[in-house]
Amino acid sequence: MSDRDEFGAFLVGFVVGGLTGAVVALLFAPQSGEETRAIIKDKSIELRDRASQSAEEVLARAEAAAAEARQRAEELTKEARQRATELANEVRERGKGAIEAVRKTKKDGGEATPV
């Protein structure tokens, strides 16, 4: 998990550094202020569109991961219920056997022995 955090921090720093460099390059470019503002506006629109697309991709991946986790949880729940039912049946059968042993011992007139 730590590697993911470090990579995420690196990626954020890389993007912020790239954007800063792009803005500085545009500001010091040999163009008129009007041309520079138009370029900045175009780049900001492009960046907004890319950010929106990235956000949609992240949301889709998060939804897929949540669906997978939900499915796995349902599978584990089903397995747990099945195992609990099996254990309950096993305990029930052992209990019946113990009761029958006690009844048989009493019927024979002997003393009941613990099972």
* pLDDT recorded at residue 107: 79
Does 2 map to a domain?
no
Does 93 map to a domain?
yes
The tens digit of pLDDT for each residue in 69-82 reads 999 999 999 999 99
* pLDDT recorded at residue 86: 95
Distance in angstroms (rounded) separating the CA atoms of residues 78 and 98: 30
Domain count, the chain: 1
* pTM of the predicted model as reported, rounded to 2 decimal places: 0.46
Among the residue ranges 3-7, 43-47, 63-67, the one predicted with the least confidence is 3-7
Does 115 map to a domain?
no
Does 61 map to a domain?
yes
Whether 104 contacts 110, CB under 8 Å:
no
Q: Report DSSP letters for 6-29, one per residue.
A: HHHHHHHHHHHHHHHHHHHHHHTS
Range of the domain at 37: 9-107
Residue 58 CA to chain centroid, in angstroms? 13
